[in-house]
Structure formats: C-alpha cells, structure tokens
Chains A and B, each alone.
Chain A
Amino acid sequence: MEPAIAVDGLVKRYRGRTVVDGLSLTVAAGTVLALVGPNGAGKTTTVECVEGFRVPDAGRVRVLGCDPRRDRDAVVARMGVMLQEGGAYQAASPREMVRLYASFHIAPADPDDLLERLGLAAVATARYRTLSGGQKQRLNLALALVGRPEVAILDEPTAGMDPQVRRDTWRLLDGLRDDGATVLLTTHAMDEAEHLADRVAVIDAGRLVAAGTPAELAAAAGGAVVVVTTPARVDAAALAAAVGAPVEQAGTGRLVVRTGAAAIPRVTAFFADHGLPLHGVSAGALSLEDAYLRLLDRNRGPA
C-alpha cells in the first residue's frame, strides 16, 4: 500500500545554506511517525515542505499520493496542520476560530465538542490573545483536527503544555490514531515520541540518522546496557577500565555502561572498592533518549 506521506530525496536550501539534505522518509497509513532531532536539524523545514508551505529545491513529497503544492486543493481537504506557533486571529475567540475552520470542511468535528475535549470550553468565548501558552497550543491543535483529517502534521504539538494537559493531549492523539489517521509530528520530548509514535526518525543537519521503532533504535544505538545511578562523582574512564566496556555519563548521577547484565558484579565491585555510594544498577535496553543521544554522537563522529 502506498504510504500516506512519502518524502524522497528532499533538499531545501535557504540562501545557499542547506537545511534539508537529501532526506527520505515514509509514514505508513494509520501510523504515527515522530521526527526528532536537535534544534536546527531541519524538522520544521521538512514538515513545511510536506504541508506545502515550502517548495523543495530537489526531491519529491507526496501526501496521500498527491503533490502538496500542485494538488493543493486535494491535499488540504484531507490534511490537518499545526504550526509551531501562531496562526489565529488575536481578537477572535477559540469558538469563532474552530467554527471558521469547521466551515471549510465537508464533515467536520463538532466545534464545541472538540473544544470540550481539549479543555477549552471554559475559554471558548475569550479572545485568543488572552489565552495562556498551553491554551493557545491546544486551540492550534483543535484547528488541525476539526476537519477530521486523514493526515495530521503537528509541529511540536505539546510544547509549552503542563504535564497534565500534555497527558490529555496524548490521549487525544492516541484517539486520532485509533480512528485510523496518519500522524507526522515533531518533538523534543523522547517520552512523547516513545508514547505516541509507532516509528521514530532521527534527523541531524538535514539528514536521516536512523529510523525505526523505539526498540529498533535502542538496538541500533548499542543494544544491551547497564544503567548506574549514583550521587557520587565517578571517573567514567576508571569504571570503563574496571568493567571492560565503554561508559558514558548520561546526565547528572547517571552512567550508562554499554554491556550486558553479566557485568553487573564488576560494576558493584568497582563502587565497593572505591567506597562510592550506589543507588541503583539495572540492566536493559537503552532508553529512547539515550539511544537518541548516542545515535547523534555516533553520527557526528569523534569530536
């Protein structure tokens, strides 16, 4: 079956600077792809090419089999878009905005019901400019979803939301997938990618670094690991020498040893020998966040 979104050899330059550099990715119908990567990796430019806002300098973009610029009318009727910011009239109310966007579509969701589900019922008649950042974000999501899109393209859909609203929004997006929609989203939050996405594509400097399920990415990034948590400052090189495997500092108080569970006794022995406190040792796969950071490091090569 043809993928709902297909990007093939996409190149986009701004004033001679190459922002997207031969990127290819596909999103199968009814699945969720999370596009992750550092700031400036080309995520927004990529989704804006898919949305038809940008003209690719090379390569091909297809949404539901159509060119998003040449076949604009066919695509926009079936696609919901959430920009990273902005997009609403400052003096309009959420209800006015959602009703306006609903009127553009043949079988829209019920505006008031959608506002309710997004927790915006209480501010349905307030002016957009008086909304909080999270409320504005949710309204923009409502505008993306009110046309019951087959394809939703969401640029950082939960940025600026508090944890509870973020969970509610995840539930809404889960529901979207359950209804059979295809979703392409960007995010910096790996827990979000892990929760929402069937597949994750890591991009850096406009190129694809890796793509796959979160488990596949963890495997690609180095398979088995032993994660050590400790309040002490540990000499990673000394630990690596004692264990016989590479060690990375992964945030404060957290070390990742790239080895299997069999090495756990050597890890605990190291801490005992040096009189260092040890809060936890666990074997398992890399978290998506660790896998992501490793994949980026490896892609950029030795510093």
Chain B
Amino acid sequence: MTGGVPARRRVAAQAGLELRLLVRNGENLLVTVGIPVGLLVFFSLVPVLPLPGRPVDFLVPGVLALAVMSSGMVSLAIATAFERSYLVLKRLGATPLRRRELVAAKIAAVLAVQLAQTGLIVAVAFALGWRPQPGVVGTAVAAGGLLLGSAGFCGVGLALAGRLRALATLALANGLFVALLLVSGIVVPLDALPGWLAAVAGVLPAAPLATLLRAALGAGVVAAGPLAILAGWAVAAPLVAAAVFRWE
C-alpha cells in the first residue's frame, strides 16, 4: 500500500484520545489518583497502622505499586471492557488502525498516566518528609519493577476485559483491587497477615512489586525472588490476554 498515514501518527492520535478520555473520567481519577494519594497522606499522618519505622517510608513503595495496579489493571480493564461492549473496538477494526497499534496506543496512554501517578506520589511523599536514598541501582530496579508490574497488571486487566461482560469486568477488577490492596503489604505489612494469606499474596503480582520497590527504594538492593515472580506475571499475563481476548 502506498501513501498511507504513518503508523506512529495513527498510534499517537489514538493514544491522545484514550488519554483524554481517561483524564476526563471521574471514577477513573478516583481509583488512579484519589485512592493511592489519599491512602499515602492519611496513613502517613494518622498513625493507626502497626508499621515499622516511619509510616511514609513504609507506605511509598506500596502506594506506588497500588497506583500501577489501579491504572494498569482497574482503569484499563474497565475502559476496555466497555469499549468492547459498545463495539468501539470492533468498529476500529474496520479502520487503518491495526489491532497491534490499538494495543500500543493503550499502552502509551497507560504509561503516561503511570508516569504522572508516580511523579505525583513522589512529590506528595517528599512533602510528607520522605527522603529515600536508593542510589542508581535502587532507582533503576524500582523503575524496572514498575514497568514489569505495569505489564503484568495490564495483562490481567486486558484478559478480564477481553473475555468477560463489561459489568463483570467492572466488579472483578474493583474486587481484585481491594483484595490486593489489603493483602499485598501495601498498607498492612505482609508479616501482620496469617502465614497462608501472605504466601498466597506473595505469588500474586501486587505483593512482589511492593516488596521489590521497598527493597530497592529502602536499601537500594534487588529482591530476587519477588523480581522473578513479577517478571513471570509480566510475560504470562499479556500472553494470556492475547490468547483469550475477543474484540467484540
């Protein structure tokens, strides 16, 4: 084919609209910004949790993990599920935008949201007195962990959205969000949970991400076990999503 619009321009246009729609959506902002920042501020200022050390130092890594989960899994799953049910995805299938370009646009929009979330959370944490010294390795591991976590959560979100009805996706994504929030060492330390629950949470994607970030941002070290589990999710979840996804 000659003289078509370059793929990157199609992706940019699609990602631009996806991003505008995410920012415009109040429920989405509540989940992706309101809840993570709210939890960070509340539990940093109100010492109700049995946390080791200063609350903000414990909370920031978990809240960063939560933020990635909120945009990668919850918000992407719900938006995509409704787009599927309103035949938006089907209709785009009859335009020059290819399927993989649509996925690329969605990833770009989610990454933009996650960059903003991370920046905001770090800024709020600084205002709350957080002063990490992760060094180059710790920072790199944290950034890599966030990306791996994003891939895993996006995969889970798209697997739900691509197969279940929109309302079922809405319910399940929110339910998973709350469950993982409680059992993944995000606001409640893992060692405060019953052993079996901590063990189960340890193989789900949220707790390894929180643990990895805590080690990287705290002591500047790599938590190899959590990293391996996280990498597994980052590979497996998108593959499952690609296998089960139905465009209409």
A83 touching B5, Cβ below 8 Å: no
Which residues does chain B contribute within 8 Å of A81, judged by CB atoms? 91, 94
Contacts known (A103-B9, A106-B3); A76 close to B95, Cβ less than 8 A: yes
For chain A, residues 4 to 36, give those with C-beta under 8 angstroms from any C-beta of chain B.
Answer: none
Does A91 lie within 8 Å of B24, measured CB to CB?
yes
**Which residues of A65-109 have CB atoms within 8 Å of chain B's CB atoms?**
73-74, 76-77, 79, 81, 83, 85-92, 96, 99-101, 103-106
Choose, from B41-49, B80-88, B174-182, B187-195, the stretch at the interface.
B80-88
B230 to chain A, nearest CB (A): 32
Q: How far is the CB of A95 from chain B (nearest CB, A)?
A: 11
In angstroms, Cα B24 to Cα A199, docked, is: 46
B13 partner residues in chain A, CB cutoff 8 A: 99-100, 103-104
Chain B: residues with Cβ within 8 Å of the partner, total of: 27
Q: Which B12-52 residues have C-beta < 8 A from chain A?
A: 13-14, 17, 20-21, 24-25
B10 touches A103 (CB 8 A): yes
**Residues of A contacting B98 with CB < 8 Å?**
73
CB within 8 Å for A106 and B5 given contacts A77-B96, A79-B94, A96-B17 = yes
- Please determine whether B88 and A51 come into contact, CB atoms closer than 8 angstroms: no
Q: Contact between A51 and B94 (Cβ–Cβ < 8 Å)?
A: yes
Give the CA-CA distance A52 to B95 in the complex, in Å: 11
Question: How far apart sit A3 and B21, CA to CA, in the bound complex (Å)?
Answer: 41
Quick check: A104 and B90 within 8 Å, CB to CB?
no
Count residues of A near B (Cβ-Cβ below 8 Å).
28
- Determine whether the beta carbon of B5 is less than 8 Å from that of A103: yes
Q: Closest approach, in angstroms, between the C-beta of B2 and any C-beta of chain A? A: 10
Instruction: Given the known inter-chain contacts A103-B10, A105-B5, please indicate yes or no for A86 contacting B87, CB distance below 8 A.
Output: yes
In the assembled complex, which residues on chain B have CB atoms less than 8 Å from the CB atom of A79? 94
Kindly list chain B residues whose C-beta atoms are within 8 Å of the C-beta of A90: 82, 86
Q: Name the residue in A52, A74, A76, A90 with the highest tally of chain B Cβ atoms < 10 Å from its Cβ.
A: A76
Cβ-based interface call for B93 (8 A): yes
Contact B88 A88 (CB under 8 A): yes
Asked if A87 and B25 make an inter-chain contact with CB atoms under 8 angstroms apart, the answer reads no
A99 partner residues in chain B, CB cutoff 8 A: 13
- The reply to whether the CB of B97 lies closer than 8 angstroms to some CB of chain A is yes
Q: A73-B1, A89-B21, A91-B21 are in contact. Are A53 and B88 (CB under 8 A)?
A: no
Chain A residues whose CB sits within 8 angstroms of the CB of B4 once the complex forms: 73, 77, 106
Closest to B28 in A: A91
| B20 / chain A contacts, CB cutoff of 8 Å | 96
Contact B10 A86 (CB under 8 A): no
A86 touches B96 (CB 8 A): no
Q: Which residues of A contact B17 (CB under 8 A)?
A: 89, 92, 96, 100
Bound CA–CA A99/B95 (angstroms): 13
A-B contacts besides A88-B86, A103-B10, 15 pairs, CB < 8 Å: A51-B94, A73-B98, A77-B4, A81-B91, A89-B83, A91-B24, A92-B17, A92-B21, A99-B13, A100-B13, A100-B17, A104-B5, A104-B10, A106-B4, A147-B95
**Closest 6 pairs between A and B when the two form their complex, measured CB to CB:** A87-B91, A86-B87, A103-B13, A81-B94, A104-B96, A104-B95
A-B contact pairs, 27 of them (CB 8 A): A53-B94, A73-B4, A76-B94, A77-B4, A77-B96, A79-B94, A81-B91, A81-B94, A83-B91, A86-B86, A86-B88, A86-B90, A87-B90, A88-B88, A88-B91, A89-B17, A89-B21, A90-B82, A91-B21, A92-B17, A92-B21, A96-B17, A100-B13, A103-B10, A103-B13, A104-B10, A143-B91
